[in-house]
Structure 1
Amino acid sequence: MTSATSTALRFAFAGMIAMAVAMGVGRFVYTPILPGMMEELRLTPADAGWIASANYLGYLVGALAAGGGWAHGRERLLMLAGLGASTVLAALMGLTDAMAAFLIIRFLAGLASACVMVFMASIVFSRIAAAGRGDLQAWHFGGVGLGIAISAVMMAVLVTVHAGWAAGWLWSAAISACGFVLVALLANEGPLTDGKAAGEPALPKDRSLMKIIVGYGLFGFGYVVTATFLVAIVRQGGGGRVFEAVVWMAAGLAAFPSTWLWQKIAARIGLHAAYALACLIEVVGVAASVAVGGRTGPLLGGLLLGGTFVAITALGLQAARQQAPRAPRRIFALMTASFGLGQIVGPIAAGLLAQASGDFFLASIAAAAMLVASGAIIWSAAPKSP
């Protein structure tokens, strides 16, 4: 094994752990902890939606800020600061019960996770590119699923010892602290660069690119309803605490290999077609989580959500990068802004719909419709063969 390959492997592993901490735990542990918070703190579905959206607003602001050239040369420091902040903020969530504090903490946690997402990607992908090992991107993105699975195991253990919701946040902080130490040791340098911060050209005024940006925003709305409320849906259906953890673990385990699998599918049928197909498969899961009775619906919902949402995120960014290859940072920021708006509006709309209707059926069907629209719009943006 060459030194470039072993370095790429080490950085890909560091990226996987960083994504597990910042995204799998930092962003998505709210989903399995939420039913306990709703029950013990008497939070309404609308309250839950606002807290989720505060996190996504922080992520949007952080991603847009991180897209600027000011961070050049400081990527590793900012990434570690994001991981450290994610750890501290998880602990703070377990030490308060005030709605205003939840909103502020989750907003800041969103900022932190965006810093890790953007800067760790620049560090890891530069090392992977230098070694010619683009296949290792799947390891990096797989960290989201790994973090979700770890948080599901944690919740299953806490449930069996009858711990309250606050313990979920405090143990999340402990797990995040371990991840922080590993990442700091493994990712010992910043991204490979040619030493100059190059300016990027303006984005092309292209109809296909506009479709991809709009479709990606609709996906942000469509996936986030189930990603936020899936465990609350299980709780409402009386599935039991251990089954809640099982459903969330199914989502995490399905997410871990999903990017690798969907890249293979995209190589066979094309990026845009793979994106549309993944959206349709996720629609089945979103609808099943509320329409299929017993344990089958939520379990199918977890498996199909996990098996698609991380991969769709990656496929959408790839499709946009194809349209604007000379402005990767600008297109990343614009796509993240569109996606971010969708996932900010999603939980608020879903929470209000759930509160008005008494369950998550209408909200989930609205989310499924958004996913269908997203897949159709991006499929229509595929380059036409001559």
Structure 2
Amino acid sequence: MLALAAAMGIGRFVYTPILPSMMTQLGLTAGEAGLIASANYLGYLLGALASAGGWAAGRERAIMLSGLGASAVLAATMGLTTSAAAFVAIRFLAGLASAFVMVFAAAIVFGRLAAAGRSDLQSVHFAGVGVGIAISAVMIALLHVASAGWAAAWFWSGAISAAALAGVAVLAERGPPAAAGAPAREPGLPRNRALTSIILAYGLFGFGYIVTATFLVAIVRQNGEGPLFESLVWLVTGVVIVPSIYLWQQVAGRIGLAKAFAAGCAVEAAGVVASVALGGKSGPIIGGALLGGTFVAITALGLQLGRLAAPDAPRRVFALMTASFGFGQIVGPVVAGIAAEATGSYLWPSLAAALALVIGALLVVRAD
């Protein structure tokens, strides 16, 4: 939980609550903001794909800790420059670091849980994303009260991440994760419409969730609701994530993975629309709650769907679905930023994101 709180909740998503101040104080445009976000997601995609090989076997703990250290340093480095080009480079490297932490922390934690017969605790591990987001929301609120600028937010993000690194270093046991021998060569992926639909739907989900996940706090700033309310919206997003994984797994157990995935996409689409259509304080609060209540859980459900569709090639399908998801979330911020800059509003890019989520839901239901 600590590892994901630092590398994902803060290292990957703290950009969202800091972004409005960067746009105001540095004059960043929505297009530039989207490009910086996409660079981080490109780094994450490449890091996730690179982690899929067997080169790191036996070095998972060291790589995870190195990724956490890099994430902390890179967060602090963001506060040392005002160059948009430097922001792009730093966030790209931060994306690589967060991917290494995500993959190798999961390898360690899941191996230990499986050996202990407690795989039901995986949801606690993923709840770290919400814990990190909630911590970052409180941090941003306190810094606003102290009249600190955007750079201070990055410095404190680095400091909090470093503290998490120290905790993880103490808690993570030495030695490789529990494993069942060397990985065997997998067969090719099955060629069928169901798997193609699932992979395409996962990419649409990546596009649909990331627009709101990147610009939600900027939407609140544009509505003029104030920095403390911005932090409240982001806090709600993080807090709701914590129980969401467990709850959606219960839903999937009742109605099946495909229908649960589709339902999650539909709920998230409603939140995306609410964030820009309802206005006032209710729209962003509802949007944040429905975003936090779905996106981490849908990510997990989608991977489970892919594994179910290609049970003999789990690593291959994981890599392909990660690529599809990554492409969607790389394109999303760029398109949304350009559209918002051209129209002066996040309405149309948010509606496009909601439409992508609905289409993804329909594809999966049809493939079931």
The interval holding the TM-score normalised by the smaller chain is over 0.9
The alignment status of 1:243 with 2:225, answered yes or no, reads no
Equivalent residue, structure 2, for 1:13:
none
Q: Where do 1:104-123 residues align within 5 Å?
A: 104-123=89-108
The alignment status of 1:375 with 2:361, answered yes or no, reads yes
Deviation per residue, 1:124-163 (Å, 9 max, x gap): 1111112222211100111111100000010010011111
Note if contact 1:72-1:197 (Cα within 8 Å) is conserved in structure 2.
Answer: no
Equivalent residue, structure 2, for 1:67:
52
The alignment status of 1:162 with 2:147, answered yes or no, reads yes
The alignment status of 1:97 with 2:82, answered yes or no, reads yes
The alignment status of 1:202 with 2:188, answered yes or no, reads yes
Deviation per residue, 1:336-378 (Å, 9 max, x gap): 1100000000000000000000010001000000010111111
TM-score, structure 1 as length reference: 0.93
Deviation per residue, 1:88-126 (Å, 9 max, x gap): 100100111111110000000000011111111111111
Equivalent residue, structure 1, for 2:282:
296
> Aligned equivalents of 1:18 and 1:105: distance in 2?
20
Pair 137,296 (structure 1): closer, same or farther in 2 beyond 3 Å: same
Which letter does structure 2 place at the counterpart of 1:299? I
Equivalent residue, structure 2, for 1:256:
242
Equivalent residue, structure 1, for 2:20:
35
Deviation per residue, 1:68-95 (Å, 9 max, x gap): 1222222111111111110110010011
Q: Where do 1:70-81 residues align within 5 Å?
A: 70-81=55-66
Question: Among residues 72, 84, 88, which one is paired with 2:73 in the alignment?
Answer: 88
Which letter does structure 1 place at the counterpart of 2:194? S
Equivalent residue, structure 2, for 1:332:
318
Equivalent residue, structure 1, for 2:9:
24
Which letter does structure 2 place at the counterpart of 1:203? L
The alignment status of 1:226 with 2:212, answered yes or no, reads yes
Note if contact 1:93-1:105 (Cα within 8 Å) is conserved in structure 2.
Answer: yes
Q: State how many pairs are aligned.
A: 367
Note if contact 1:220-1:343 (Cα within 8 Å) is conserved in structure 2.
Answer: yes
> Aligned equivalents of 2:83 and 2:240: distance in 1?
34
Question: Among residues 19, 33, 48, which one is paired with 2:33 in the alignment?
Answer: 48
Percent identity, aligned pairs only? 64
SS at 1:256 equivalent: helix
Question: Among residues 112, 116, 120, which one is paired with 1:135 in the alignment?
Answer: 120
Structure 1 unaligned blocks of 5 or more: 1-15
Runs of 4+ in 1 over 3 A off after TM superposition: none
> Aligned equivalents of 1:366 and 1:91: distance in 2?
34
Equivalent residue, structure 2, for 1:5:
none
> Aligned equivalents of 1:122 and 1:320: distance in 2?
19
Note if contact 1:211-1:377 (Cα within 8 Å) is conserved in structure 2.
Answer: yes
SS at 2:224 equivalent: coil
Which letter does structure 1 place at the counterpart of 2:347? F
The alignment status of 1:348 with 2:334, answered yes or no, reads yes
> Aligned equivalents of 1:212 and 1:344: distance in 2?
19
Please give the root-mean-square deviation of Cα atoms over the aligned residues, in Å.
1.0
> Aligned equivalents of 2:237 and 2:105: distance in 1?
23
Deviation per residue, 1:42-64 (Å, 9 max, x gap): 00000000000000000111111
> Aligned equivalents of 1:147 and 1:379: distance in 2?
33
Cα drift, residue 329 of structure 1: 2.1
Cα drift, residue 195 of structure 1: 4.2
Which letter does structure 2 place at the counterpart of 1:20? A
Which letter does structure 2 place at the counterpart of 1:94? G
> Aligned equivalents of 2:226 and 2:352: distance in 1?
26
> Aligned equivalents of 1:162 and 1:141: distance in 2?
33
SS at 1:342 equivalent: helix
Equivalent residue, structure 2, for 1:319:
305
Question: Among residues 337, 347, 350, which one is paired with 1:361 in the alignment?
Answer: 347
Cα drift, residue 194 of structure 1: 3.6
> Aligned equivalents of 1:74 and 1:320: distance in 2?
27
Question: Among residues 99, 103, 109, which one is paired with 1:124 in the alignment?
Answer: 109
Which letter does structure 1 place at the counterpart of 2:18? I
Which letter does structure 2 place at the counterpart of 1:357? T
Note if contact 1:34-1:232 (Cα within 8 Å) is conserved in structure 2.
Answer: yes
Which letter does structure 2 place at the counterpart of 1:213? I
Deviation per residue, 1:162-208 (Å, 9 max, x gap): 11001111000011001111111111133112443433232222321
> Aligned equivalents of 1:179 and 1:198: distance in 2?
35
